[in-house]
Amino acid sequence: EDDYAPSLEARKDKLLGGLLQAGFDERSCASRYQSALYRKESQHKPSPYLISRLRSYEALHKRCGPYTESYNKTLEKLKTNHQLEPTDCNYLVWISFSGLGNRILTLASAFLYALLTNRVLLVDPGTDMVDLFCEPFPEVSWFLPSDFPLKNQFNSFDQKSPHCYGRMLKNSTFANSSRLISSSFSFVYLHLVHDYDDQDKLFFCDEDQTSLMEVPWLIMKTDNYFVPSLFLVPSFEQELSNLFPRKETVFHFLGRYLFHPTDPVWGLVTRYYQAYLAKADERIGIQIRVFDTGIGPFQHVLDQIIACALKENLLPDISREKPIINQSQKSKAVLITSLSAGYFERVRDMYWEYPTVTGEVISVHQPSHEEYQQTEKHFHNRKAWAEMYLLSLTDVLVTSSWSTFGYVAQSLGGLKPWVLYKPENRTAPDPPCRRVMSMEPCFHAPPFYDCKAKRGIDTGEVVPHVRHCEDMSWGLKLV
């Protein structure tokens, strides 16, 4: 026995290069410090500036979070609906909205916006946020208390709400409407859902950011990863470049910082990983999300997946002539995620019925097939979160176009996936897939507006690090 050999656990960097705080109670959330045991070490290191800003955010959150003196005082402003003197703490409330992948991306976007504007992020628990995610900040909760006065209005907030920022701008007859907003409202609702209009989109302009600065409560509803457009706001530019010298690491770091699976979800992740993936020499994730209507599996989607895997040498071809080929020692485990089981069954059968030309041993696994998207069932979203996480633990990843489920997996994992082009007219696209430029998620509904010139522009052509996405030509992503 060698007392001096550090254990595997000690050698791994459980604080992820300083991203995480030491000192959380390990028994309350096993995944927080265990995740390093399941991941390859990240190729990226968080900047010292990002680390220091996270620590100062944590201090702010502790001072201003739920039921602190500052929180209670700022809450008073909501009741009087007028704010006369500036407040000690300002808040950003994130409304739980849309599918789980979307929620993870919007919550990270909201956190970055809070960081940039010195606001405290509070999370509407919705139906299952508490069940899925551990507390990311020490000591004081990030969840919005259930007695928050506006809570029962969250569902009805939309573009017609009197406090909606876009609507305020539309209704305003004053030339300097924005100053009016900042001085007279205790809360403003930000509608950043994909159906938002030109006025709502002015959120991404410097002038409007100035007018929102003094509003104590901002309430945000969104289903989009809007980070790329924050990089186009001049007043955020310097800070963002200090935080993220490598632009494509934004979600990679914020995701690893914020999203720790709760113990029930971590059990789903670790049991599955150990049983089916740990022993393979290489792990290949294939995330299948079919937006076509009708019941799959579809032959054209299956053809596309196999064409992509073979063409890009992610998986070996099979031999239909030679019944037995000497087995090499190398094994590959394929993790397929999909709402239906059909694709998995066909890929598994292919590697059972025929040998691989390389002699590699291929095993194929799919954790669940939930058949359709369900929103209110606990185990459903636990499984969805576990599967995104498992995909992020693979070595090579194939994802589906347009899917935030895949974006979460790729960025958390630090993986540049091969993305399957979206099939048109029920035919497999040719080429079937391409490698993406960066691991960042795509912003599906960005504004195309030049705030200074007050006219439309192609926001994918303004700076070299904000480009159009591979899977959605009008989307924007960081590269």
- Residues of this chain that interact with ligand GDP (CB under 6 A) are 98-102, 289, 337-339, 368, 370, 373, 380-381, 383-384, 387, 403-405
- Which SS3 state, helix, strand or coil, does residue 402 take? coil
Phi then psi for residue 318, to 5 deg, are -105, 160
Altogether, the residues listed in the chain come to a count of 479
Nearest partner of 392 among 111, 107, 108, 38, judged by Cα: 38
Amino acid identity, position 147:
D
Nearest partner of 57 among 113, 129, 101, judged by Cα: 113
Between 64 and 336, whose beta carbon lies closer to ligand GDP? Answer: 336
The least CB distance from residue 382 to ligand GDP, in Å, is: 9
188 Cβ contact list (under 8 Å, min separation 6): 163, 164, 165, 168, 181, 212, 215, 217, 218, 219
The least CB distance from residue 318 to ligand GDP, in Å, is: 25
- The DSSP 8-state label assigned to residue 356 in this structure reads B
Which residue has the CB atom at the shortest distance from ligand GDP?
99
The least CB distance from residue 386 to ligand GDP, in Å, is: 8
The least CB distance from residue 269 to ligand GDP, in Å, is: 12
223 Cβ contact list (under 8 Å, min separation 6): 97, 98, 102, 106, 193, 194
Between 285 and 432, whose beta carbon lies closer to ligand GDP? Answer: 285
Between 34 and 403, whose beta carbon lies closer to ligand GDP? Answer: 403
Q: Identify the residue whose tokens are 């405290």.
A: 120
The least CB distance from residue 53 to ligand GDP, in Å, is: 28
d(CA 241, CA 254): 15
The least CB distance from residue 104 to ligand GDP, in Å, is: 8
Between 112 and 386, whose beta carbon lies closer to ligand GDP? Answer: 386
d(CA 223, CA 463): 24
Between 102 and 211, whose beta carbon lies closer to ligand GDP? Answer: 102
Integer CA distances (angstroms), 171 to 159, 176, 208, 216, in order = 12, 13, 15, 22
Nearest partner of 440 among 263, 171, 257, 225, judged by Cα: 225
**Among positive and negative, which fits the CA dihedral 229, 222, 260, 117?**
positive
Between 104 and 315, whose beta carbon lies closer to ligand GDP? Answer: 104
Between 285 and 316, whose beta carbon lies closer to ligand GDP? Answer: 285
The least CB distance from residue 366 to ligand GDP, in Å, is: 8
- Which SS3 state, helix, strand or coil, does residue 60 take? helix
Between 14 and 422, whose beta carbon lies closer to ligand GDP? Answer: 422
d(CA 454, CA 208): 13
**Quick one: tokens of 140?**
């004081």
- Which SS3 state, helix, strand or coil, does residue 338 take? coil
Between 87 and 404, whose beta carbon lies closer to ligand GDP? Answer: 404
Between 356 and 404, whose beta carbon lies closer to ligand GDP? Answer: 404
Between 248 and 387, whose beta carbon lies closer to ligand GDP? Answer: 387
342 Cβ contact list (under 8 Å, min separation 6): 296, 297, 302
The least CB distance from residue 46 to ligand GDP, in Å, is: 26
Interior/surface letters 316-326, b for 16+ CB within 10 angstroms, e for the rest: bebeeeeeeee
The least CB distance from residue 372 to ligand GDP, in Å, is: 8
The least CB distance from residue 337 to ligand GDP, in Å, is: 4
The least CB distance from residue 340 to ligand GDP, in Å, is: 9
d(CA 361, CA 352): 10
Between 218 and 398, whose beta carbon lies closer to ligand GDP? Answer: 398
d(CA 307, CA 431): 9
| Contact status, residue 458 vs residue 448, Cβ threshold 8 Å | yes
- Which SS3 state, helix, strand or coil, does residue 145 take? coil
The least CB distance from residue 385 to ligand GDP, in Å, is: 8
